[in-house]
Amino acid sequence: MTDLEVDEYLEQAAAVYRNPRPTGGADLRFGVDLGTATVVLTAVGADRRPVYYDQIPAEVVRDGVVVDFAAAVAVVRDLSARAEAALCSPINEAATAYPPGVGEAESRACRFVLEQAGIECRKIIDEVGAAQELLQVRDGAIADVGGGSSGVGVYRDGKLVSLADRPGGGHHLNLILAGALSVDVAEAEVLKRTAAGDHLSILTPGIERVADNIRRLMEPLPGGPVHLIGGALMYPGAGRIVSRYVGHPVAEHPHALLVTPFGIALS
């Protein structure tokens, strides 16, 4: 897809938040993103376009590792029940994803969460691979900067040539802001979302830290831009800071935190 088509897709995705696009319920495909900051359930239609999504903030998974199994199951059950009511359609199966750096054993826990919530796991894919389902990068990179970690995949001629992740994401930015302003982490999260522009001088070293991780993970350097996705750098100015630090063009997208969740449903 061109960047314009990706951005249109994401605008359509944002519009179906708890508000399904009518499809008659046929041939829906579901995805569940067990993130560090939020758990997201997505649905796409037979035409691969967004149909529905919903999310619940939850601290049940840390960097792909399920740290509170029972709570994770409860969150997925809630999301599933709300989706079934909204879509008038059962959710029998869904795909899910794990961060690239997580081992096979931990990623299996994600499958068990779905199964305990009454959903068969039809596929488990790494998060960057899921994002690629939507972005379809030919020459370039994908950097998924979430709550806890940054995963980077480099593509050449549409083929993956490297994939890895490093710790560091939105939660670390919250810690920096909380420390600098002497507020608690929850308050820092609110300030970051509502007034990041006022605190860019505090946040910049943290963003550069993330950029440093992205640069180290972009080996070899891609021919095209690095697509910045995930929620952690979703404020004005962040892409410019990353681009300057990495010395490489950056492509930003609206609603960047929806790329991986919808990619999971598409996979």
Q: Which does 140 bind (CB under 5 to 8 A by kind): Mg ion, ligand ATP, none?
A: none
- Residue 3 CB partners (closer than 8 Å, separation 6+): 251, 253
**Which of 20, 50, 129, 169 forms a contact with ligand ATP (CB under 6 A)?**
169
**Which of 31, 147, 168, 222 forms a contact with ligand ATP (CB under 6 A)?**
147
Residue 91 vs 264, nearer CB to ligand ATP: 264
H or E, element range at 179: helix 170-181
Peptide bond just before 249 cis, omega within 30 deg: no
Binding of ligand ATP by 148 (CB under 6 A): yes
Report in angstroms how near the CB of residue 89 gets to ligand ATP at its nearest. Answer: 25
Closest CA to 243 of 235, 252, 234: 252
Site for Mg ion in 33-92 (CB under 5 A): 35
- Residue 222: other Cβ atoms inside 10 A: 24
Candidates 5-13, 23-31, 114-122, 188-196; binding stretch for ligand ATP (CB under 6 A):
188-196
Can you say how many angstroms the Cα of residue 163 is from the centroid of all Cα atoms in its chain? Answer: 16
Candidates 132-140, 146-154, 159-167, 171-179; binding stretch for Mg ion (CB under 5 A):
146-154
Residue nearest to ligand ATP (CB): 170
Q: Is residue 61 within 8 Å of residue 112, measured between CB atoms?
A: no
Number of residues engaging ligand ATP in binding (CB under 6 A): 21
**Which of 20, 140, 146, 151 forms a contact with Mg ion (CB under 5 A)?**
146
Binding of ligand ATP by 189 (CB under 6 A): yes
How many Å apart are CA 41 and CA 21, to the nearest integer?
A: 15
How many Å apart are CA 143 and CA 107, to the nearest integer?
A: 20
Residue 45 vs 64, nearer CB to ligand ATP: 64
What separation in angstroms does the CA of 188 have from each of 7, 100, 136, 168, 185? 28, 28, 34, 16, 5
Candidates 5-13, 116-124, 146-154, 203-211; binding stretch for ligand ATP (CB under 6 A):
146-154
**Which of 6, 13, 28, 37 forms a contact with ligand ATP (CB under 6 A)?**
37
CA angle 153, 260, 190 (to 5 degrees): 110
Q: Which does 6 bind (CB under 5 to 8 A by kind): ligand ATP, Mg ion, none?
A: none
Report in angstroms how near the CB of residue 170 gets to ligand ATP at its nearest. Answer: 2
**Which of 114, 234, 264, 265 forms a contact with ligand ATP (CB under 6 A)?**
234
Residue 31 vs 170, nearer CB to ligand ATP: 170
Binding of ligand ATP by 232 (CB under 6 A): yes
- DSSP E strands in the chain: the ranges are 29-34, 38-44, 50-57, 61-62, 65-66, 93-98, 120-126, 140-145, 149-156, 159-167, 226-229, 250-252
- The residue ranges that bind ligand ATP (CB under 6 A) are 33, 35-38, 146-149, 169-171, 189, 192-193, 230-232, 234-235, 257
